[in-house]
Amino acid sequence: MTIDPNDSVNPTPENEESSEDFAAMLEAHEMQGEGGEISDVKIGAKVTGKIIQIGDHEAFVDCGFRNELPISMEELKDDDGQMTHSVGDEITAHVQKGNDGPKLTMAINLRESGRKALTDAFEAGTPVQGKVGDTNKGGFSIDLGGVRAFCPFSQIDVRRAEDPSIFVGKSFQFKILEISDDMRNVVVSRRALLQADRDEEGQTTRQNLELGATLEGVVTRLVPFGAFVDIGGVEGLVHISQISFQRVGDPSEVLNEGQTIKVKVMEIQNLGQGRSERISLSIKALANDPWPSTAESLAPGTDVEGLVTRLVDFGVFVELLPGIEGLIHISELANRRIINPREVLNEEEKIMVRVLDVDLDRRRISLSRRQASDYDGD
């Protein structure tokens, strides 16, 4: 069959169907992201991306999807209206349904979004912005942009606050835990969001944790036997004996809650196994040991003033220099027979002692009270 070039060729139904198939294939191809996988921008999802462009009203964030997602400039400013982010910064936000497609939000502003956003946020698990009002029985009154909510005391932070009033008047992000149909009963939690971030951070910390590593941490709790330190979503313990080379009677003498310190990882047990997890830390291991140089200055036969630190059945420990302790055996306390060291000395008492022997290898110093030059023979 010969076709005249001047003749027009009308598309047949088969041609038309092929064109539609091609269009569908093209659309599917355009919806694909890198690696050929179809992008799934799920509303309510928590994503991390990099700011690639900042405009007058919106910034655009690359989260690995086919298209960058916009976020309102207001969410990138502080309370004074100053920008807190710039191009190249990495941010974590939630995907929210916008008028023109998906967008990002740090936390939904219900005053701007309307009350329907409240139920949307509850269903998607998206944080909402709220301001802490007065305290009442059991918790706080929270203003969610015109909607009143309740946050129990236990849900305002990951740790119990001794003074709840420190939160009053401040704005935070909250997760909605419960909501009634008439929206008159709304329960929110700030702790749920903080704990989720902490769990994520802790997972990374556990993956990279190694014996002997030097880490920066924050003192979270002081207890009589030591200090608990947050080393990145994970808590470890600095035992009181590992705080300093000097004798520490109570951790509060040298540490404060909220203080940032450097620690060395000494022991790891049952990592990631809940309550049985044990991470032993040390501050002392990163400090200079005073023994090698300082103890050598204590020559046998010389008298040194010291401070009584501990009374035990077999004698008395005396701090001679910072981090350097010696022992007065009970037989060297007096010229008479002593049953209990408390008969002649008290803790925190300053006394003069004579150095009898210094054993650098065994880190032991033998002392005598009765042989000291000022001993009066009591």
Q: What is the pLDDT of residue 249?
A: 83
Token pair of 215 as six digits: 């880490």
Q: What is the pLDDT of residue 18?
A: 41
Q: What is the pLDDT of residue 38?
A: 35
What 285-292 contacts at long range (C-beta under 8 Å, 24+ apart), as own/partner pairs, is 285/242, 286/214, 286/262, 287/244, 287/245, 289/245, 289/323, 290/245, 290/321, 290/322, 290/323, 290/324, 291/245, 291/323, 291/324, 291/360, 291/363, 292/360
On whether the CB atoms of residues 175 and 189 are closer than 8 A, the answer is yes
Q: What is the pLDDT of residue 14?
A: 43
Q: What is the pLDDT of residue 98?
A: 74
Consecutive sets of 10 residues in the chain, 378 residues long: mean pLDDT of each? 42 42 40 41 80 85 85 79 85 79 76 71 86 90 88 90 88 92 87 91 92 94 94 94 86 92 94 89 88 80 91 92 88 91 91 91 89 82
- Name which CATH class applies to 126-194: mainly beta
Task: Write down the architecture of domain 209-286 according to CATH.
Answer: Beta Barrel (2.40)
Q: What is the pLDDT of residue 278?
A: 93
Q: Is it true that 46-105 and 209-286 share their CATH fold?
A: yes
Torsions phi, psi of 82, nearest 5?
Answer: -95, 140
Query: What's the CATH code, domain 46-105?
Result: 2.40.50.140
Task: Write the DSSP symbol of residue 120.
Answer: H
Specify the amino acid at residue 41: V
Q: For the chain, which residues make up each domain, given as ranges?
A: 46-105, 126-194, 209-286, 291-368
On whether the CB atoms of residues 29 and 20 are closer than 8 A, the answer is no
Task: Write down the architecture of domain 291-368 according to CATH.
Answer: Beta Barrel (2.40)
